[in-house]
Structure 1
């Protein structure tokens, strides 16, 4: 006679990430040590340990039986009745681990003691090797590294399915691609790799070593991991080296949050205007992305310019099943952020109604659930036809228009995933600002205060409405939002440079002695400016100081708008200027920002001259 002992084995990688252990030998021994018996089902066994070769040899005479786990990690023993009253040591012999990259025959199997149990008292013995033990076995013995993660929407916490997630190792010279994976219906993904993947260098395969980015150069055991994620060409996660998780262990568990969401046409959730692009929130506060009381954006006191995406989320339908519409109103009258908003009557400009304010942009992407190779991804671009006469924007209308323009019926929406790109509407700020640029001014002459560019502020209000059966809009006040002050500017940065000694000659004559620069820099939102001098041989390559005005960097002081100098000496005593051709270059940058990127550095404005001794 005999009785059956059944069990299941899994390894824990993260709190919510497990793997089935298949092809593992399960071995029963008579107890080697008494007093350790348990019927524990919990993940953490009190007696788990690596079995040494010496211990395994001593226990040979205690061997009872062995079997192998199937594809689901299940195992089964038929045990003779003579062992009816016995407990057993349960060991596993691990020849490899799931998804290990290396299949080196020199790698010896690992024997692991799990517990001592009375199997006759159990219906089934489910055992999870705890992550601290399992991850160490995977990495230390089999060089198997793994990332388990989940991707979800930041606002709704809804998992994002079908996205491609790529893990990168930040290195000193070239970053290593650790691998990519596609998220499942729960937003989960898994990436497996080995140490050779992140120890690649320009001397690989001869020299493989992990290096940290930046200086001083450090050599570490684990990679510095950051992530990128895309869906239908849309960036969901766009981390950089600065976001890298340093020197990670064999198992890395991550949660990745994206502003972009994948929704269903019948999903309902709170609508919200949350930001400007991906750089600033639409809120007053002390956070690095918030607006201050005066209307400056973010910690660097940026000012909005050009076309700006007003970002957030809105479902296609209300809980009633009616269509959702939304709109943005703008007031020239402002109040400090954090105080009472301007009166309703001041919001006289409406995007989609007031000419010039609306800018077309991708607001939704439709991604075919089952790709066919033809029109699998359709960008839904906002259009003037999607607004009514009061500026209410109908995203469902935009979706249906896109489907019919591409040969689909509106009912074919069910064939597509709806990717909310986070852009509600895009605003052309140039249609709001009206300050003229400063007039041309000779180099070295300060801008006349009468011509200084004045500050321009606007208040922005977001409203959500439900389209009723009678064709009217029911405004939902609980979902509205107003930002009282937002500073905008679309003026050009003014900068001009000359060499005094060249202007006093033919502009082509060699010059000698002390050389003087003439420059003027001005912008109401100036962040930085600098002068640099170099010669052809680069024996001279240095910045020029004009203390305390220049160089200027990281400026947020609204009173520092630039400077002018009619006669700035650029020689460096003791004289370092040899006979050669020189270039004097002027660079500057404003704090203008479109919510995605800051306006690029302007320059160089350059003056060339030949210096003779």
Structure 2
């Protein structure tokens, strides 16, 4: 007879986007000797960090450990060495954040101490467990790791749904450098990861007073089949929701179809106009500036 535990662990980036904890590790422990005040209260116990010493002290009670797949799913199996009515401890280990992001080190957390609901079959007992890390907790984990994640929809103006299979590039307006790229999924949502190292590019930047997150001011470019579909003006990075980006941020990109043609089909004509106008008299420079403004 054996126990089989299956489930999923993910985290909330924002209210409408869940991030699977790919490559994280889940551990199941035999119960410690419980005092009355330590009795389990249910499946959704508060997640709390564990020190390396706390993890080491419970090593002799470890039943099983497994690595989560790219969707955050896991499967654990162990021999029947305890009563199915006993409580188990579930812990999580993050060696690196999703997207191989942030500083690489083991971050251990206690998830739950609970009595699982087991079902008996011919081979033993089967149980299930799922947990979604709250957005505030996930935000703090990213912040402590020096990492960021941006998610959002990419869609045309007035469209009801997002556009799949587009490439999204994010730029830091403070440096003009590319900080990350991602592709939209089948519903038009992108998830883009980057770290403090991507922001610095090997150069130490001075801190700007009042910036709580030490994050970038971002603007985006969108490509379809490696052709430029939409390029935002850098001024977009001055908007409140684009400045000093938080570790877990939701930024939707909405483009107007009338400007798609300007961004792609007429790019060559735009450069031709620049060459022509700069060779004319200075009094016509105002027309050049107006033309440039309208194209942007």
TM-score (norm 1): 0.38
Gaps of 5+ in 1: 40-44, 261-276, 279-310, 312-361, 366-376, 380-584, 599-613
Cα distance change of structure 1 residues 235 and 121 upon mapping to structure 2, 3 Å threshold: same
Cα distance change of structure 1 residues 146 and 37 upon mapping to structure 2, 3 Å threshold: same
2: distance between equivalents of 1:588 and 1:596? 12
Question: Whose radius of gyration is greater, 1 or 2?
Answer: 1
SS for the counterpart of 1:196 is helix
1:50 matched to 2:49? The reply is yes
2: distance between equivalents of 1:252 and 1:74? 27
2: distance between equivalents of 1:182 and 1:148? 11
131, 137, 141: which one aligns with 1:133: 137
Give the aligned partner of residue 64 of structure 2: 65
Gaps of 5+ in 2: 120-126, 267-281
1:21 matched to 2:21? The reply is yes
**Aligned residues of 2:220 and 2:231 also touching (Cα < 8 A):** no
2: distance between equivalents of 1:147 and 1:48? 23
1:235 matched to 2:230? The reply is yes
TM-score (norm 2): 0.72
Give the aligned partner of residue 246 of structure 1: 243
Give the aligned partner of residue 265 of structure 1: none
Q: Which has the higher contact order (CA 8 A, sep 6+)?
A: 2
Over aligned residue pairs, what C-alpha RMSD do you find? 3.8
1:180-202 residue CA offsets vs partner (Å, 9 max, x unmatched):
223233111122211022124xx
Cα distance change of structure 1 residues 250 and 85 upon mapping to structure 2, 3 Å threshold: same
Give the aligned partner of residue 272 of structure 2: none
Cα distance change of structure 1 residues 210 and 99 upon mapping to structure 2, 3 Å threshold: farther
Give the aligned partner of residue 390 of structure 1: none
Give the aligned partner of residue 254 of structure 2: 257
1:558-586 residue CA offsets vs partner (Å, 9 max, x unmatched):
xxxxxxxxxxxxxxxxxxxxxxxxxxx99
- Would you say how many aligned residue pairs link Structure 1 and Structure 2? 263
2: distance between equivalents of 1:117 and 1:588? 73
1:496-520 residue CA offsets vs partner (Å, 9 max, x unmatched):
xxxxxxxxxxxxxxxxxxxxxxxxx
Cα distance change of structure 1 residues 14 and 36 upon mapping to structure 2, 3 Å threshold: same
The 5-angstrom pairing of residues 57-456 of structure 1 reads 57-72=56-71, 73-80=73-80, 82-101=82-101, 107-121=104-118, 123-141=127-145, 143-171=146-174, 174-200=175-201, 205=202, 207-209=203-205, 211=207, 221-231=214-224, 232-235=227-230, 237-240=232-235, 241-243=237-239, 245-260=242-257
Give the aligned partner of residue 389 of structure 1: none
1: distance between equivalents of 2:3 and 2:215? 47
What's the CA shift for 1:176? 2.4
SS for the counterpart of 1:136 is helix
**Aligned residues of 2:66 and 2:74 also touching (Cα < 8 A):** no
